A = this chain, B = another copy of it.
Amino acid sequence: MTFSSQQLLAFTKAIFVKIGFSEKDATLASKVLISADLRGVDSHGIARLAGYIDLWKAKRLNPTPHLQVVHETPSTATLDGDAGVGLVVAPQAMTIAIEKARQVGTGWVAVKNSNHFGIAGYHAMMALEDDMIGIAMTNASPIVAPTFAIDKMLGTNPIAVAIPALEQPPFVADFATTTVANGKFEILERQGKEAPLGWLQDEKGQPTSDPTARKRGGALLPLGSDRTHGSHKGYCLGALVDIFTAVFSGANYGPWVPPFVSYLPLVEPPVGEGIGHFLGAIRLDAFRPAEELKKHMDQWITRFRQAKATEGQQVLVPGDPERATEAIRREEGIPLMESVVEKLQLLAQEFKVSWP
């Protein structure tokens, strides 16, 4: 079934209002969530709405947070999200980063006491509107085993960076620091298919192609898959995101990160508050005149697109596939899987909100 982004925005907003969000916060949270559906990152869009509601039911999500800067320097700040949803907390943090960048060239905001923030790319791309470079990271539920580990110690810990160009569309990198995002396994499981080797390991730390292994003590693997192919580098990246988002801010890190699914218990005692994000903004003229930077970004992008490709392929620039998907979905609507629609209809009934 296919829905317009307007339909999904209105529905999502209505649900958030029902659990106590202000009009403004509900609008913003919906916009961030549906931006994932528009960009083709279906796992992080409206399919997760019920998950956020479950967190609220478990009293782990505060619908009316009082956000507060608890520490700062001219180029940095730490924001306490007051257990608000990351969908609202992260944009606020990015706004502070942008303001700091305006003052001193760059701005960096670490966030504690937050919840899942949707797609990292949305927050990084906020900076584009102010003609700045944006960076966004978050830590997440521990489902990834570091190199040589059996224990799950890290989340898929994504990194997003958005850099504007002049004539060309912006460069937007947005990727999990694992071989694949968790959502891929859910799809394979539903289809009864196997995963390629190198995506996950079983409860003994051995390679497996069974996507259900992750529910029986298995784990996702860092980018690189195994030691021979550089998984220790993917582990480094995931670790850096964990430290920048949570050790910097005072959030929970590593195996202490509160799971997104509300039925999993928290690890007690916690080492921090909620989950952590890290947002950055860099003024375009921080290092050279803005116009020069943009022209060279154009040239970078154009040259990479022209690179000779293997048969039948094309060399892409980060952000190309998501932008193409967004253009199609704004035109033709957002397809939702049957199972997702069913879940949303249940939410509609429960909260007496009309489903489109």
Contacts and interface: CB of A to CB of B under 8 A. Distances in A.
Contacts of A199: 229
Interface string A288-314: 100011001101100110011111011
Given A173-B236, A223-B224, A253-B296, A314 B148 contact: yes
Number of copies of this protein chain within its complex: 2
Interface stretch (A28-36, A67-75, A82-90, A339-347): A67-75
A233 interface: yes
Given A75-B105, A196-B228, A229-B225, A248 B287 contact: yes
A148 B198 contact: no
A150 B310 contact: yes
Interface stretch (A19-27, A48-56, A239-247, A348-356): A239-247
A180 interface: yes
A42 to B, nearest CB: 18
A11 interface: no
A223 B228 contact: no
Contact of A255 (B243, B292, B303, B314): B303
Contact of A148 (B78, B272, B309): B309
Interface in A190-211: 196, 198-199, 204-206
Given A247-B296, A315-B148, A105 B73 contact: yes
A71 B288 contact: yes
Contacts of A180: 230
A147 interface: yes
Interface centre among A104, A146, A229, A232, by most B CB within 10 Å? Answer: A229
A307 B151 contact: yes
A175 interface: yes
A108 interface: yes
Contacts of A150: 307-310
Contact of A310 (B149, B228, B255): B149
Interface in A132-159: 146-151, 153
B300 A250 contact: no
A90 to B, nearest CB: 16
Interface centre among A72, A179, A237, A249, by most B CB within 10 Å? Answer: A237
A-B pairs with the 3 shortest C-beta distances?
A: A73-B105, A205-B310, A148-B313
11 contacts: A71-B288, A72-B105, A73-B286, A148-B310, A151-B307, A153-B304, A178-B230, A179-B224, A180-B230, A224-B224, A254-B303
